[in-house]
């Protein structure tokens, strides 16, 4: 076997040499040379059998009972771009549990590309309340319910130095912001998923257990970023430890509680020169934001050298052809251990003996994923009454006024009745056509 490998390598070298000639003639034969044994008999690779590929296609691989899978659903910045959503990491465990850590702007689209039933995506842990860390919460809340979440969305996040600076306040206001949206949906859709349960915990608590269920323990510890309030998280399950820093200046709590992590995700901010040339920051602002509010790449490396995770994950920079090498070089001045420079849809499969890093290949033009529970038809006015109690909106206002009804064009009535009849014939039961305004 060793012999034939050597021959392949030699053939490859020859192929490159002769390939130049073949290119000139419009064909390039290296692949066929490489795929053949030296004597030209059986090919090393089957021309008809499927092969394992080095990427991850969501929902096509079983998660082993002792395996953790982490998927980057956002690795970027508050300045939005199509190439990278903002902070969001999905953790999937072999026991079936799934957890979302931060839900930054743009990440809800990334999550929908994974086609995971939304009932499984009901637990979100928010490290701090910057838009690039919870800006997609509203989309996961509304869109997730519409795409099949049949239970309230559950959010865990820190208190702040005053009630207005805490997670409960932000989530309450978010729900209030959607009062018109919710008032228009209630009664028309299965409304079980259209509420948020908030679990606020003390941002100063050190390594405090904030979640414990089904063998999973999630702890919180303080972070240093922008104002009082931000936290970092650890998740421990089945002998594996995941740590997520959210945003923070290098801090002693992280050094202490992120130790022994199998995977440690920590911010690694845009390098200061790039903040000036690409983000248009003044040098003063770039130095302050890039080294004092956030963790500069060189400092990220020092943090990882101190905690020595099985794999260090750097995120929170724009990872482009002309920025990646610079960030890597800066990290490598202070850290020489295992490292991933994260980008969206990077995937880590972690067991006690192996860490495998790949990219996910996902669909973009997705619809709703499969439902985890049986669908229920809307409950009409019963749901409206419950929502009215909670929101203060009167049930009468959850429908059209006579003024608006008066503007309906009656000439489409016949074709729309036809759609009802079509459904009745297809499904073998009667669907009563709604009266005006119902």
Please, which residue, 126 or 355, has the CB nearer to Zn ion?
Answer: 126
Please, which residue, 129 or 240, has the CB nearer to Zn ion?
Answer: 129
Please, which residue, 78 or 326, has the CB nearer to Zn ion?
Answer: 78
**Using the 8-state DSSP alphabet, how is residue 432 labeled?**
P
Report the nearest approach of Zn ion to the CB of residue 138 (Å): 18
Report the nearest approach of Zn ion to the CB of residue 407 (Å): 46
Report the nearest approach of Zn ion to the CB of residue 117 (Å): 29
Q: Say which residue the tokens 């090498």 belong to.
A: 325
Please, which residue, 174 or 289, has the CB nearer to Zn ion?
Answer: 289
The angle subtended at Cα 432 by Cα 429 and Cα 436, nearest 5°, is 165
Report the nearest approach of Zn ion to the CB of residue 74 (Å): 10
Please, which residue, 79 or 252, has the CB nearer to Zn ion?
Answer: 79
Q: Say which residue the tokens 């028309």 belong to.
A: 188
Give the CA dihedral 415, 420, 425, 428, nearest 10 degrees: 180
Report the nearest approach of Zn ion to the CB of residue 299 (Å): 15
Full 3-state SS string of 197-225: EEEEECCCCCCEEEEEECCEEEEEEECCE
Under a CB-based contact definition with an 8 Å cutoff, are residues 297 and 269 in contact?
yes
Please, which residue, 85 or 240, has the CB nearer to Zn ion?
Answer: 85
Please, which residue, 122 or 247, has the CB nearer to Zn ion?
Answer: 247
Q: CA-CA distance, 151 to 193, in Å (whole number)?
A: 4
Measured from the Cβ of residue 306, the count of other Cβ atoms closer than 10 Å reads 16
Q: CA-CA distance, 435 to 248, in Å (whole number)?
A: 57
Residues 6+ apart with CB under 8 A from 219: 207, 208, 209, 210, 233, 234, 236, 257
Please, which residue, 130 or 149, has the CB nearer to Zn ion?
Answer: 130
Under a CB-based contact definition with an 8 Å cutoff, are residues 127 and 219 in contact?
no
Say how many residues make up the chain: 438
Question: Which residues of this protein are in contact with Zn ion, per CB under 5 A?
Answer: 130, 132, 247
Residues 6+ apart with CB under 8 A from 294: 225, 247, 249, 267, 269, 316
Report the nearest approach of Zn ion to the CB of residue 157 (Å): 13
Report the nearest approach of Zn ion to the CB of residue 357 (Å): 23
Q: CA-CA distance, 135 to 127, in Å (whole number)?
A: 12
Q: CA-CA distance, 415 to 364, in Å (whole number)?
A: 33
Residues 6+ apart with CB under 8 A from 403: none
Report the nearest approach of Zn ion to the CB of residue 342 (Å): 13
Q: Say which residue the tokens 């251990």 belong to.
A: 337
Please, which residue, 15 or 127, has the CB nearer to Zn ion?
Answer: 127
Retrieve residue 45's tokens: 């690779």
Report the nearest approach of Zn ion to the CB of residue 290 (Å): 12
Please, which residue, 131 or 209, has the CB nearer to Zn ion?
Answer: 131
Report the nearest approach of Zn ion to the CB of residue 107 (Å): 12
Strands 55-56 and 355-360 come out as: parallel
């Amino acid at each position: 076997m060793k012999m034939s490998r050597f021959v392949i390598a030699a053939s490859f070298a020859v192929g490159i040499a002769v390939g130049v000639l073949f290119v000139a003639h419009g064909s390039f034969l290296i692949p066929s040379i490489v795929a053949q044994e030296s004597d030209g008999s059986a090919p090393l690779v089957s021309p008809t059998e499927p092969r394992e590929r080095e990427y991850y296609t969501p929902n096509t691989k079983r998660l082993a009972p002792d395996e953790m899978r982490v998927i980057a659903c956002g690795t970027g910045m508050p300045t939005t771009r199509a190439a990278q959503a903002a902070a969001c990491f999905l953790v999937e465990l072999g026991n079936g549990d799934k957890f979302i850590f931060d839900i930054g702007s743009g990440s809800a689209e990334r999550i929908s590309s994974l086609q995971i039933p939304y009932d499984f995506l009901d637990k979100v842990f928010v490290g701090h309340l910057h838009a690039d860390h919870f800006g997609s919460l509203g989309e996961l809340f509304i869109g997730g319910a519409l795409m099949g979440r049949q239970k309230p969305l559950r959010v865990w996040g820190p208190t702040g130095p005053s009630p207005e600076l805490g997670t409960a306040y932000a989530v309450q206001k978010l729900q209030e912001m959607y009062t018109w949206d919710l008032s228009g949906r209630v009664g028309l859709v299965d409304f079980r998923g259209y509420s948020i349960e908030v679990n606020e915990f003390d941002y100063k608590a050190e390594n405090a257990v904030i979640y414990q269920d089904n063998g999973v323990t999630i702890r919180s510890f303080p972070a240093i970023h922008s104002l009082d309030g931000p936290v970092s998280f650890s998740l421990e399950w089945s002998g594996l430890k995941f740590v997520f820093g959210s945003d923070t200046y290098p801090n002693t709590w992280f050094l202490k509680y992120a130790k022994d992590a199998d995977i440690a995700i920590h911010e690694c901010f845009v390098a200061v020169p790039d903040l000036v040339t690409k983000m248009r920051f003044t040098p003063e602002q770039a130095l302050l934001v890039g080294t004092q509010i956030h963790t500069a790449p060189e400092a990220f490396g020092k943090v990882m050298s101190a905690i020595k995770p099985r794999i260090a994950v750097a995120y929170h920079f724009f990872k482009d052809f002309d920025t990646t090498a610079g960030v890597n070089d800066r990290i490598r001045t202070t850290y020489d251990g295992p490292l991933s420079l994260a980008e969206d849809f990077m995937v880590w499969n972690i067991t006690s003996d192996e860490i495998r890093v790949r990219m996910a290949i996902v669909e973009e033009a997705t619809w709703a994923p499969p439902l985890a529970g049986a669908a229920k038809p809307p409950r009409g006015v019963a749901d409206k009454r419950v929502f009215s109690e909670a929101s203060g909106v009167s049930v009468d206002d959850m429908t059209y006024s006579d003024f608006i009804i008066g503007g309906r064009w009656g000439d489409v009535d016949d074709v729309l009745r036809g759609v009802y009849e079509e459904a009745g014939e297809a499904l073998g039961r009667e669907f009563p056509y709604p009266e005006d305004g119902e």
